Amino acid sequence: MSDSAALNQRFGIPGHISFKETDGMIVAEIDNLHAKADICLQGAHLMHWTPHGQPAVIWMSPAATLAPGKSIRGGVPVCWPWFGPHATRTDVPGHGFARTVMWEVIGTKALEDNGTWIALRLVPTDATRAQWPYPSEVVLQIAIGKTLDMDLGTLNTGSEPITIGDALHTYFTVSDIREVLVHGLEGTTYIDKVDGGSYKKQSGPVLIEQEVDRVYLDTSGDCVIEDPGWQRRIRIAKRGSHSTVVWNPWFEKAQKMGDLGENGYRKMLCVESTNAANDIVTIAPKKEHHLWVRYSVEAEK
Ligand code: TA6
């Protein structure tokens, strides 16, 4: 029996979730009364979330490719157990290994509000242990409905404290990057990675008129992407994260990256709920840390 057939037998729920194999990759497809979504089991990578009657909320690059061990451009990459470059090692991937290794489905459920719940757990290997030898378990829970809820949980199964950085590195779809505003970060301090890592203060909402790559510090409140072109606001609520990354590569960087598609940078904006910079997390033995987000769409006021 194929992997997808076995998964459908054990975790498929008619009217909610099924599993298919595409280019050798296993994908969970969710289609319920509220929305459509799909999740690649490699990286527990949510690739799309489109509430019925809405333009897609989560952006996927038209030039993205699904390939074993390769990160996917778009969706919600899971950055774990570090964010950005490793603090000391150069032989390990930026943003950690979680997004390019296999995760296993450990549960699915039809929710009372007609949403769909799925839980996935990272499958440790010799290769992951060589990068991260600390006893731990990481589980991503996702509830797809009128809202998109994601909970990245890390359990310290060892007898010593562990320290992690992590993020839900979410790509949101916008009508035109030059038109949108990001509210919720006014007056906060950020590290400007486009300007030598200098510390700056955010004045007013965030406008995107050039490459933006900023780590906003001590930020735990909601962010709102105001998109006048589609007369909608995307609300990003979170818990367990006190830093927020706003990133758009703009034209030149996008050209160099080569996997955002023709002018793809104009249709996407990353607002990432993170434990990054000084916001790394130390977890005591047998304790857990949860990074939780809720994405929702509101009509333009
Ligand atoms: O979160 C912003 C960032 O760290 C940028 O500096 C850029 O590198 C982006 O992530 C994409 O990283 P990736 O490894 O997915 O190409």
* CATH value at residue 202: 2.70.98.10
The whole-chain average pLDDT of the chain stands at 97
To the nearest whole percent, how much of the chain has pLDDT over 70? Answer: 100
For residue 169, indicate whether it is catalytic.
yes
pTM: 0.98
User: Is residue 301 over pLDDT 80?
Assistant: no
Per-residue CA distances from 184 to 9, 36, 243, 271 (Å):
44, 28, 12, 11
pLDDT of residue 300: 84
Q: Of how many residues is the chain composed?
A: 301
User: Is residue 13 over pLDDT 90?
Assistant: yes
Q: Which residue's CA is minimally distant from atom 14 of ligand 1? A: 94
Q: Which residue's CA is minimally distant from atom 6 of ligand 1? A: 213
Residues lining ligand 1, Cβ inside 6 A: 71, 84, 94-95, 169, 193, 213, 245, 247, 270, 272
Range name among 5-9, 23-27, 117-121, 224-228 with the lowest pLDDT average: 23-27
pLDDT of residue 175: 98
Q: Compute the distance from residue 158 Cα to the ligand 1 centre, in Å.
A: 30
User: Is residue 1 over pLDDT 80?
Assistant: no
Eight-state DSSP code of residue 246 = E
pLDDT of residue 2: 78
Q: Which atom of ligand 1 is nearest to the CA of 167?
A: 1
HSE-CB at 229 with a 13 A cutoff on CA atoms is 13
Q: What is the mean pLDDT of residues 11-30?
A: 96
pLDDT of residue 67: 94
The strand pairing partners of 236, in sequence order, are: 223, 295
- SS in 3 state form for 213-228? EEEEECCCCCEEEEEH
Eight-state DSSP code of residue 170 = P
Measure the CA–CA gap between 245 and 171, rounded to whole angstroms. 11
Q: What is the mean pLDDT of residues 258-276?
A: 97
Measure the CA–CA gap between 92 and 131, rounded to whole angstroms. 7
Of these residues, 169, 226, 242, 289, which one is catalytic? 169
Tell me which residue has tokens 């378990």.
137
Of these residues, 34, 95, 242, 272, which one is catalytic? 272
Q: What is the mean pLDDT of residues 17-34?
A: 95
Range of the domain at 108: 3-299
For 122-138, the pLDDT digits (tens) are 999 999 999 999 999 99
User: Is residue 221 over pLDDT 80?
Assistant: yes
Which contiguous run of DSSP H or E holds residue 250? helix 250-257
Q: Compute the distance from residue 34 Cα to the ligand 1 centre, in Å.
A: 31
Range name among 22-31, 140-149, 246-255, 281-290 with the lowest pLDDT average: 22-31
Q: What is the mean pLDDT of residues 55-64?
A: 97
User: Is residue 29 over pLDDT 90?
Assistant: yes
pLDDT of residue 88: 96
Total domains in the chain come to 1
